[in-house]
Every structure is written in C-alpha cells, then in structure tokens.
Amino acid sequence: MELRVIGCHGGETPRHRTSAFLLDERIAIDAGALTSGLEVKDQAKLEACLISHAHLDHVRDLATIADNRCQMEAKPLVIAGTKDTLRVLKKHFFNNLLWPDFATIPSVTEPTIQYVELKPEEPTDIGGFNVRAVLVDHTIESAGFVIERHGVSIAYSGDTGPTERFWEVLNATANLQALLMEVSFPDREQQLATVSGHHTPKTLDAELRKYKAAADLPTLLYHIKPVFQSEVEKECAALKNLNLQVLQLRDQFVL
C-alpha cells in the first residue's frame, strides 16, 4: 500500500495544508487539500474519499474537486462517512446554497458525487480497500479508520481527544503497519485541546500506551496547528519509547 501525504496540518498557510492523504492514488482520507495539493489528472484518478468528520478543514476541497470532476465527466466520486457526517454534508455543504448539490449534477443517474454510509465497525469495500470506521471523541461525530488491502492494514485516528474503542479495535487488528495519529496543540494549551477534542503531546503519550506495542508501531503525526508547529515537534521529540514521525507535505511511504 502506498501512502502519499497531500495535507497534514491542523491549519493553513502557504506552507501548511489541511488533512488529506492518498492510498495507492485511488482513495483519499479526508479532503482538506485534494485540489490545493493535487494536479487535475490525480484529482480525476480518485475513486473515493473517506471523510472522518464534517469539519471544514477535512471536507473543504470536496467542493472544488466536485466542480473540477463534473467538468471532466469523471465517474462519480464516492464520499464515504458515518451517518451524521453525511447528514451534515448534505444539509450544510452540498445544499444548493453554500454549494451546488453535486449528488444530482449533471443528473441523478450520473452524478458527480455519490454518498456511501459507513456503519461503525462494519467492514465496507471502498475502491478495493476494506474500510472500518470507528467512532472517536471530538466535538462533533468523528471517526477513525482501519483500512486493509492485500493483508496490510493502516489506521487513521481522525480528529480526536482521548478515546477508548479505537484502541481496542487496533489491538485486535492483524498486521497493522502504521498509524496516522493526530496531535494539535502544545502541552501549555491543554485546556484548548480538551475543549476542542484534540491531543497535546502529553495526552498523546498516555493515549498511545493503550496500544499493545506502541514502541514498535510507526506512528505518523498530523494535524499540528501551524502556529505551534515547532513547539509541538519539540515536545513530541522528547517522548520516550514510541515510534513517532511528524509528517511533512509530499511524504510518501510504501507500507
């Protein structure tokens, strides 16, 4: 499985892009940078996008990729998410007010986007990948994902603070090759992290110990707020007996 980082930050500047990752150039995890960070030919190749939750930094480029693909007469782009995430997208985003309803454009029978609901922890085939959504703890409904293909699994935390079920599922997942894990604020901003449902390095440290082999699991950190980038990186570098790497734009991994 090939993982490509398109956006890996918790905010945007000319050097930071919000969350978006590609697997085998076929499916995306979150849509924070699918047009700002991808050429048109790569936008056209996508079969599906897994959406962890409806916050703008994870869904914003669904608007622009839908518009581009509509003009390319591409196959419908599957937008997969849990029930409440899809409800918010339909009601508040593709609602013919904020943006056109691309689920009916150019026609209901050949739409630009197509919604697929992910029932929590029920394996679902999305673009040839076996996907399980696991509910995590954020300010709105948010899901992490466990994604398996050809016997190799990776996990994605979604936006979350301390949570339980996600770790139980990971502990029961065979051949987990990597975890994309959120961390957002420095330790001194713990209160802000707590009320916004995110991690600091301190809570990240405690959280990763819930995994049975934390020291061996390649843990790829994303969602750091640009304002706190160097501070969070320093605090993460001081954590012991973990296998951490802070993701950078354009990183690529073969897992």
Q: What is the per-residue DSSP string for 25-87?
A: TTEEE--TTTTTSS-HHHHHH--EEE-S---HHHHHHHHHHHHHHHHHTPPPEEEEE-HHHHH
Stretch that binds Zn ion, among 33-41, 114-122, 153-161, 233-241 (CB under 5 A): 153-161
DSSP 175: T
Nearer to Zn ion, 55 or 149 (CB): 55
- Kind of pairing, strands 143-149 and 152-156? antiparallel
Nearer to Zn ion, 214 or 220 (CB): 220
Q: Containing H/E element for 230? A: helix 229-237
Residue from the set 4, 9, 17, 55 that interacts with Zn ion by CB under 5 A = 55
Q: How far is the CB of 157 from Zn ion (least distance, A)?
A: 11
**Residue among 81, 94, 153, 229 at smallest CA distance from 247:** 229
Q: How far is the CB of 166 from Zn ion (least distance, A)?
A: 15
Stretch that binds Zn ion, among 50-58, 61-69, 105-113, 236-244 (CB under 5 A): 50-58
Contacts of 14 (CB under 8 A, 6+ apart): none
Nearer to Zn ion, 88 or 126 (CB): 88
Nearer to Zn ion, 42 or 137 (CB): 137
Contacts of 187 (CB under 8 A, 6+ apart): 200, 201, 202, 235
Stretch that binds Zn ion, among 74-82, 159-167, 187-195, 209-217 (CB under 5 A): 159-167
DSSP 189: G
Q: Is 225 in the site for Zn ion (CB under 5 A)?
A: no
Q: Is 159 in the site for Zn ion (CB under 5 A)?
A: yes
Q: How far is the CB of 189 from Zn ion (least distance, A)?
A: 15
Nearer to Zn ion, 115 or 185 (CB): 185
CA dihedral sign, ordered 121, 127, 129, 135: negative
Nearer to Zn ion, 111 or 201 (CB): 201
Q: How far is the CB of 232 from Zn ion (least distance, A)?
A: 14
Residue from the set 57, 61, 148, 189 that interacts with Zn ion by CB under 5 A = 57
Q: How far is the CB of 196 from Zn ion (least distance, A)?
A: 8
* Site residues for Zn ion per CB under 5 A: 55, 57, 159
